[in-house]
Each structure stands twice: as structure tokens, then as C-alpha cells.
Amino acid sequence: MMKNRSRTPLCLRWGRAVWLAGVLCAAAVSSAQAQSTAAPVALPPEVEAALARAKLPRESLSVMVTDAQGTARTQPRLAHRAQVQVNPASVMKLVTTYAALEQLGPAYVWNTPVYVQGTVQDGSLRGNVYIQGQGDPKMVMERLWLLMRRLQAQGIQVIVGDIVLDRTAFDVPEHDPARFDGEPLRPYNASPDALLLNYKSSVMTFVPDVPAGLARIQYDPPLAGVQRQASVALAAAGTDCGDWRGALRAELADPAKVVFQGVYPAACGERVWPVAAADPRGFAARAVEGMWRELGGKLTGSVRDGKVPAGLKPAFVSTSPALAEVVRDVNKYSNNVMAQHVFLTMALQKNGVATFDGAREALRQWWQARVGDAELPQADNGAGLSRDARLTAQALARMLQVAWQSPVMPDLVASLPMSGVDGTLRRSQSRASAHLKTGSLRDVMAVAGYVHAASGRRYVLVAVVNHANAGAARPVLDAVVDWAARDQ
């Protein structure tokens, strides 16, 4: 393995024979340290070879590997285009989640209060129910079911009135889910919402029944006012699984109807297909009414948007999992809408209402206080699902060094995928022991986090490829990670 030549000034090796020599030595050390972070280090041969095989130019890669316990003046083991601004894709979630862990605390929870206005008699509420969203990023189907059960525990089976959804805690612009990449039904394109239910997505589970010649379909959560096909015919015996979603010939653009014109191959066994709502704004109302009726509840009015009346006290509060658990979902599985909720919550706590401008300002203030002079990332929406987000490998590496010394370090590291073990790295070919956040877009491939080296030392690693052929860069990033782990 190639080793970097020592940059220690000669005067340190001579010792301090006289006072003047000591003064000169100190000046030389200061000069060497000041230059060390900017000094480029040649790319390792195995990384050069991986770039060549992937047909990627050296200029497409930005990388920095440095001691996790180092400082801004620590000489990096590897620095190549580390001061160039790049699009980090979902690696930006590292900035959002670390900032939130420090500002909000790992034990922070989101509360969703439920209010009952009116009188309850013989199982009937004459009045309205109000559900006030405050940004809970994990109000999934199971927790919505529990919320409705708790509402029924108030003695309510019939609501002679409306269910009102208060979503005013988030002041975010209208979002076109097709704008980013033309894929509006992909769950990763879901937009933030103060009352986010099941990530604005439905899950369809296909279970083949060969004797009956069909596959049964289970839909979660239940949605009011939506016609859903209960089964689909099986493909001819012996048909390979292949592109089973394409074979279904699904028609999903109508928010009130789900239709399959094709067939389902029995060879696939049980499969799950998550789909974002065709009508994202109306999803919460459909899900709330659908779950209420699924549990046997009755509603004479409608589910509509509104605001909780002043002075009304909550009947009960639904509490989310702690931030430390939410951050694990965000980083392990790169959940975009959850990341945006974490980002917006920093503004909500500071300003009483969540806006993207407020979140970016909260991040700026925190960055200056904790990370200092390192270049501030352009976070955009905080999730990395952006063409405008930018950071430098050097700045992110410095942040990760600061994080290594932070009391919330265990929560941040535990949230990162383990190479070859879980999350978005479960299929990684790298042989290194590492906790790394991944990122990928059409023209971006990136990893960043911590590598546990053979010597027992821990290194911060940031590697980002920006190029039209970035999809071929995975072996390049694996080569960087494996090189960093071999430090003996």
C-alpha cells in the first residue's frame, strides 16, 4: 500500500537545541498545518483503475478521507477535488439529521393532538373531531389505526358532524410530484405535510392462489371513496416473474379507482408494491375516513381541512417514536419525505410554523456555531432529492469530525447503513467495516460516513461522483472505502 510521505518540518526532528530554533520550528509547524487541508493527495491506484473501468474521468470524483478524531488542520489521508461544490444527493441527509439530533435532541417526539368538540351521548358525538398535524413523519397505517381506536375509547362510534384536519403547522408551497423526474406515483416523490399519513402512499400486496387461478390483492391503508380491484388473473403456468409490475398493466392515475388490465405471474409468490397517491392533497382525508369506517365507525358529515378552535383542549395526544428512531429510518432507507419533515421541524420549533426558508436559516445558524468556517451546504429541501443542493467533500468531512466528538454521535452512527449488512448498503460489495450514508440520482452517486480500519482507527470518508455516467460509479466508491479500511 502506498504511504504518504511525512510533511513534518525538519526542525521537529532536530529538537529544540536553542530558543531561536524553537521559534522557527513553531512557525514551520503552523505553516505546514495551514497548508495540509488543501494539499492534494494522489488517488490510490485501485481507485484510478476503478474509474477507468467505469469510464469515468478523474474530475468526476470528489473525495476526502481523514481521521475521525482530527480537526480542521489535520492532514487528510486522501483529498481529491475536496473543495469543489458537488451535488451530494441523499448524502445531504447527514447534515439534516445531525443538525436535528443536536438541536432537537434524540428523545424529541412529535405530538398529534386530537380534539372532541360537542357532547357524547349513547355512542354518538354531536359535533366535530379535530386532528391537528404537527409534522409527525411516522404516522403510518398502524398508528392511524391506534389513533382511531383511542377516539372510539372516548365513547364515540358515530360522529354527527365532521372530522377536521388541521395542517397549518407547515407552510410549504404546493408540490408537483412529477416535477423532479416525471414519476409522480413513486413514493420517494411525496411532499411534506403537517398531517402526513402513511407517507401519502398505499401498499398493494399480491398473494397468488393457484387453484383459483388468481392473485388476491390487499390494500393498505383503507381509503374512502376508492374502487379497488380485489384480484387479478394469474399468468399462464410457467411464466417467469420478470417484470411483474409491467405485466399487471396497472391503471393508477385515477385517485378514485385502481384497475389492472394484465396478469400476475404465480412464480413471483407474494409481492408488495408501494404507490404514491394520485391525489396527494386528498390522501389524508380518504385515509382518515377509510380507517374510521374500517373500524366500524360512522360519519354523517365529511373529512375536511380546517383549524382547531381557540381554547379547545385535546381529548388525547398521539406521540411519535423518538427522533433517534426516526433518524434511523431516514438514513438507513433514505426516506425523502421523512428527511424533509425532520428539516422543517427545526424551523417549527424556532418559529412556531415550518417553512423551508426557516429551516435553512436554522441550519445556517447551527452550522456556524458548531462547524465554523467550513463552507455552508446549500441544503435546499434537506433531503438531497434536488438538482440544486450543493456541498464540498471537505466541509462534509469536517462536519463528520465534529459529529464524532458530539454526545449524539452514537445516535448518528447507529442510523447509518452498515456495509454489506443493512439498509441501502445491504448489497454492497465492499469488504470494509463501515457505517455510510448513500446517495444516488440520475447523475450522482455518493457515500459518506465512517470507516472502521484494520488498525483500529476510525476515518471520516466522503466520496461523491457527479457525472452523466454516475450509475456506473458503485465499484469506484467501493474501491475508496476498501482503500480507507486498509491502513496497515
Digit-by-digit pLDDT tens for the chain (488 residues) are 333 333 333 333 333 333 333 433 333 333 333 333 444 568 999 999 999 999 999 999 999 999 999 999 999 999 999 999 999 999 999 999 999 999 999 999 999 999 999 999 999 999 999 999 999 999 999 999 999 999 999 999 999 999 999 999 999 998 889 889 999 999 999 999 999 999 999 999 999 999 999 999 999 999 999 999 999 999 999 999 999 999 999 999 999 999 999 999 999 999 999 999 999 999 999 999 999 999 999 999 999 999 999 999 999 999 999 999 999 999 999 999 999 999 999 999 999 999 999 999 999 999 999 999 999 999 999 999 999 999 999 999 999 999 999 999 999 999 999 999 999 999 999 989 999 999 999 999 999 999 999 999 999 999 999 999 999 999 999 999 999 999 87
Torsion over CA: 70, 71, 75, 81 (sign)? positive
Does pTM surpass 0.85?
Answer: yes
Phi/psi of residue 28, each to 5°?
-65, -40
Write the burial class of residue 476 (CB in 10 Å: 0-12 exposed, 13-18 middle, 19+ buried).
Answer: buried
CA separation for the pair 175, 178 (Å, rounded) = 9
Residues 181 and 187: their CA atoms lie apart, in Å, by 12
Per the CB < 8 A criterion, the answer to whether 321 and 109 are in contact is yes
CB atoms within 10 A of CB 101: 23
Alpha carbon distances (Å) from 225 to 81, 228, 302, 404? 54, 10, 12, 50
